Structure 1
Amino acid sequence: MRRRRLKDTSLHQSPQLFSGRIPMASLIQTLAVAEHLNFHHAAQALGISQSSVSARIRALEEELGIPLFERNTRGVRLTEAGRHFVERVTTGVDHLDLAIKTASLAASGDCGSLRMGIHGLIPGSFLDHLVTRYRADHPAIGVEMVEGSARDAIIQLRAHRLDVAFLVGRFDLPDCHSRPIWTEPLVAALPANHRFAEEPCVTWPDLASETFLVRHGGTGPQVHDHIVLRLAGRWPQPVIQRFEVERGTLLSMVAQGFGITLLGAASQLSPTAGVAFLSIDDEPEPVVFSAVWSPQNRSAALRNLLALADEMGRSTQPN
């Protein structure tokens, strides 16, 4: 009567069996016997004694209350309950193995995801090369890029919706880490028919009477503040118009004669018809681009990206 009752017992009715009382070794040895259908061969494959395997499986059967194997003089075979048990344990062990491998890859930064805030992505720019190299080095990392202003990016970093942001300027934030990564000269974008378009360069006094076009998003706020700083004290004050447009549209507006704008030198790598890019001769320093991230973010994927950014940034510095 006892044997019949135990045979009819469903494994699904006993979730407590996997609460930690059954050693993993017992499950592994059960799978080995199920594979070889021979206690001696299973013990050899595991590098342990046959008596140890037999004792463990007997203890497991007693713990479960069901026979997993039928033993006879010709060998061993799985019972019907044993077959179902082994199928599910095999799946569970496979899932556990995958979980361990995935955790190991995530810990080393070789799988997972990375959310990156950017000011824009220009083909051939430092940031473009950085993303290309990182994705080549870590193909299992899903990279997501979000374009926006520095203010928006910092808000998202603080809310843990971004892992890192590459922003214009230097930052000294009490709750974020940051460091400069690369620099670019500042250039003025003028209409191709502008009176200075054929000059080798311009100066800030040359630009003082121009209408400046800046974006609300992206690097627009920093460009706005930079213009005000460089032309402070002049009268009349500079005319600065702000638009809710993307970089490409802003350059098209420059080409059409709405005004001029300021950009990092990488913008010249993506020429726009009707626009001339000129260096600013009296601009005292290049534009700094910094990485900003939360100190609470211990992601290995982020750590690998920052290490690569530092390496590439050093290689672009003049000797």
Structure 2
Amino acid sequence: MLDAITWREVTALDETTPPQHLNPLQRFGRDVKQVRLARKLTQKNLGKAAGYSEAYVSRVEAGKMLPRPSEKFAKGCDTAFGTGELFTGLLRRIDEGDHPSWFVPYLNLERKASRILDYSANLVKGILQTEDYARTIFRVSNPQVSAEGIEGKVAARMRRREVFELDTPPLLWIILNEACLRTVVGDAEIMAGQLHYLLTAAGSPHIKLQVLPFWAGAPAAHAKPFTVLRFTDSPTVLYTETRVGGRMHDSAQTVDAALDDYDLLRAHALSPDRSVALIKTLLKEYRE
């Protein structure tokens, strides 16, 4: 629990800058600075305690650490300040604030999964999207959101890749319908960048990628996008999305049916090597 003094330190406002004019990263940096000063620590002291340089702390406090400060830094602040998990929680809420509320439960489970089995029918899965590809999708699907808001969503999507930097990262096995590769999002240049990134991702030991070709027939035409999350110490969960949001399913019968569907899709998909070959061919077409 935080004592009253600590809470006042964190919520104290800089009177020269109205809080409503600060973006989430600036507010996080302001809070770090408020507590650091209250604890009579220099930026160098805090950096040493958290395992980062003085320059890193300076950028965080200025709200200029993009896409956002690391979770390790937030934990280091909590340890140095004695604030429990306050800054870790603030950082997590920055992530969640740039995602729809209905997506947050999935996001939390994605970070804990040991296996992620995904079938994408029309668009590349978010965790494998490039910035330009994601930005184009967000602009189309959120026409009323400001440019700054769009950039926040893009940054949040890019941060999902951090799961592959964990000590024990999950294995992502993804099946992309050929439509994901041929549907032009933005323009040919953006698609070329996206396909190039998919080739890079396919070389990771933590990612297995297959393409379900159009000529696969019924399985390719019938299947809707879905994701199965497996855990080392929890039941398997199925995640599906509709136009109005996402839903988690944990009944054994529903999950087993999804796994059967996934096995069927995997059986009709191209092998990983042939999938890479197809992506290279399409990449060449986009570049020309």
Superposition TM-score, scaled by structure 1 size: 0.23
Tell me which structure has the larger Cα radius of gyration. 1
In proportion to residue count, which structure has more strand? Answer: 1
Answer 1 or 2: which has greater helix percent.
2
Give the TM-score taking structure 2 as reference length.
Answer: 0.25
